[in-house]
Structure 1
Amino acid sequence: MAAEIAEQPSAWRNLLAARAACVEIGELIASRAPRFVQFVARGTSDHAALYAKYLVEIGLQIPAGMVSPSAVTVYGARPDLRDVLLIAVSQSGGSPDLVKSVEVGRAQGALTLAITNNESSALSDAAELHVDVMAGAEQSVAATKSYTSELLALYLVIAAWQGVDTSAVDALPDLGDEVLGSDGALAAAAQKYRYAQRLLTTGRGYSYPTAREAALKLMETSYLTAQAFSGADLLHGPLATVDPQVPVLAVVPGGRGGDAMAPVIARLVERGADIFGVGAASAVAELTGGVAIPDAPEELSPLLEIIPFQLMALHLSLARGENPDSPRGLRKVTETL
């Protein structure tokens, strides 16, 4: 897991060097002018899909939604998907329910795109279009480099569809290397939280998927209860569960999403919460602790802001005497139907 976290900037460089494939697919999608986008994914890839949902709804102003695979695989639904783009996101491309969802979607008229880290997978074969995120083999059960490579691939495809300038992505690998330098601070933070049994993660906008992915990484490597809430949802009841003994991991980047977290942070402070933040230096400085990340466009910040949480999950697992590479009872591919 440590090696794969560290490989992320190199993986991004590989994908950027081959970005022409993403651009070509994005332009093809634009020519087809879909009226709606559906995403189907599981686990970590579901969080990448949620990030892409924000890209579509904000950048393209096209409605987008998340598929419930069981509607197709268990209940036999066959919705009319003409003029719909169905995007399946999967590290392995081997989950039967995702494959079935794409097969049915294609038969029902959808333009189908698979985003995987396996160009010869069943999912990539089932879809009309395919993008290989080129992250390289991932041995740890906890997905790290495949997640951020999925984010980057989705960004490149959707940006090409939108027809916007993507030059800002060229700085990402170097910025990622800079974020990896916070490893020592994250190791220290893990020692502080090693006895925690429950914590919350929160963020808004493009950073809400980061909060969800951070919670998943902590649960699957350290076996603690981690609940993820959007900042807005946190104020609608779950705030009552917060006290000084329940750490809160907050994503507070620059931009509108980070600004929208300000009233959330204020309410958490009122409750005496221990808040560890990842994001803009000015926001992190006001919290109990945290790690500042370099400035980047808000829609690209999720690639950087997840790295400190990956490192925290790694160090927290080790501090608790666990093996982050092989979490108990988990496998790399979950075969649901």
Structure 2
Amino acid sequence: MTSATPSTPSTPTADDPTTAPGAVMAAEMAEQPDVLGRLVARLPELGEAVRGALPTPLLGSTLIARGSSDNAAVFGRYLFEPASGRPAGLAAPSLVTRYGARTDYSGYLVTALSQSGRTPEIVTAVRAARERGARVVAITNEADSLLAAEADVLVATDAGTEIAVPATKTVTAQLLAVVGIALALGPLPPTVADLADLAELPDAVRRVLADTDACETLAADWAHHDRLVVAGRGLGGAVALEGALKIRETSGVFAEGISVADLLHGPIAALGARVPVLLIDVGGPTTPDIGALRERLVADGVPHATVAPELGGLRTEAARAIATTVHLQNLARMFALRRGANPDAPAGLAKVTPTT
């Protein structure tokens, strides 16, 4: 499925010395309500295209990605499996590109995510899966990319050119596209995702973008920390991974995203006054786990905060998770600025990482 040709945003370039640090990232973040609104309107069409491409029978789903797209893939894993009633998991591209794996993908749906559609190992792994029987859905911002050419169904996110190194509008568009694919695979509980609630997402994101007070306060309080942990579970765990990546790449803070369950299996012993914890609670069945961890952190004297943006009455866990991702983008940008870094163009990073 193709989309309209993305328009180029009227933002300055990240390496323009006259551009204020963080201005490009902020401008692209501000485009998210419109990007999400366009994509929400296309979700019924997306669902029809995906259902038409599914193998019969569907044996399972695999997601292939790297970087921020990999965090969106983790998000998808928590949606695809309950929706389809079939196993869902993440592929390791290196199994193809380094170990020469020849996996039989007959009966499998492969969903590949890449903002640029140009990461060599993603394209190679997807091509290998398709040659061995997979049906392929590609989620990318570039409709004429190499990845798009490998797809049975193309989901062009139509986010427009993204200039700042940290992916923002393309990530939330991927998250929304993943929800749309999941709804095409089968029913999800109405507390997890539904189209009516997703239609409210653009306005909720506008409110999140406008409400920066909590982010500014936390960035000021924690700017001196060189390490922190971002913890969530389920869909909130995927949001934690993405939030940690944004903080890490924009500010140089070594932020680690981790499942609450995994944190309790040993890493919690490394926490203390110098390593604060950011808790991600997007509602749903994992909220009690967040509460239990919060009580443990209080007892152990570990500094912590809970991400709780104003979400304007969003009812479903998936929609709240996407809006919370935007809140963490705000926080990452402010962390970077507080630490004297330019989040538009972090040192040592490029917009496209050509891993093979």
TM range (shorter): over 0.9
Query: 2:351 aligned with 1:322, yes or no?
Result: no
Identify which of 237, 245, 249 aligns with 1:216: 245
- Structure 1 residue 61 displacement after superposition: 2.3
Q: Which residue is equivalent to 2:4?
A: none
8 Å contact from structure 1 (residues 38, 66) kept in 2: yes
Identify which of 279, 283, 296 aligns with 1:254: 283
Pairing of 1:1-337 with structure 2 (within 5 A) = 1-30=25-54, 32-162=56-186, 165-279=194-308, 291-294=309-312, 295-337=314-356
**Offset from partner CA, 1:190-239 (integer Å, 9 cap, x none):** 11111111000000111101100111001101111111110111111111
- Moved >6 Å (runs of 4+): none
Q: Which residue is equivalent to 1:282?
A: none
- Structure 1 residue 178 displacement after superposition: 1.4
SS at match of 1:119: coil
CA distance in 1 between partners of 2:310 and 2:197 (Å): 19
SS at match of 2:143: coil
Point out the more displaced range, 163-172 or 199-208. 163-172
Aligned length: 326
8 Å contact from structure 1 (residues 142, 217) kept in 2: yes
CA distance in 1 between partners of 2:57 and 2:167 (Å): 33
CA distance in 2 between partners of 1:91 and 1:321 (Å): 28
One-letter amino acid matched to 2:170? S
CA distance in 2 between partners of 1:58 and 1:257 (Å): 16
One-letter amino acid matched to 1:238? P
8 Å contact from structure 2 (residues 53, 152) kept in 1: no
8 Å contact from structure 1 (residues 21, 131) kept in 2: no
One-letter amino acid matched to 1:325? D
TM-score (norm 2): 0.88
- Structure 1 residue 185 displacement after superposition: 2.4
SS at match of 2:354: coil
Q: CA RMSD in A?
A: 1.5
8 Å contact from structure 2 (residues 241, 257) kept in 1: yes
Q: What are structure 2's unaligned runs of at least 5 residues?
A: 1-24, 189-193
**Offset from partner CA, 1:40-62 (integer Å, 9 cap, x none):** 10000000011010001223221
**Offset from partner CA, 1:30-77 (integer Å, 9 cap, x none):** 563421111110000000011010001223221111111011011111
One-letter amino acid matched to 1:305? T
TM-score (norm 1): 0.93
CA distance in 2 between partners of 1:316 and 1:299 (Å): 26
CA gap of 1:183–1:108, structure 2 versus 1, over 3 A, is same
Q: Percent identity?
A: 38
- Structure 1 residue 301 displacement after superposition: 1.7
- Structure 1 residue 188 displacement after superposition: 2.3
One-letter amino acid matched to 1:74? R
- Structure 1 residue 100 displacement after superposition: 0.4
Q: Which residue is equivalent to 2:14?
A: none
CA gap of 1:263–1:163, structure 2 versus 1, over 3 A, is closer
CA gap of 1:245–1:49, structure 2 versus 1, over 3 A, is same
CA distance in 2 between partners of 1:33 and 1:62 (Å): 10
- Structure 1 residue 25 displacement after superposition: 2.1
SS at match of 1:18: helix
SS at match of 2:213: helix
CA distance in 1 between partners of 2:56 and 2:321 (Å): 28
**Offset from partner CA, 1:219-276 (integer Å, 9 cap, x none):** 1011111111101111111111111221111101221122222211111111112212
- Structure 1 residue 158 displacement after superposition: 1.6
CA distance in 2 between partners of 1:70 and 1:326 (Å): 28
- Structure 1 residue 21 displacement after superposition: 3.2
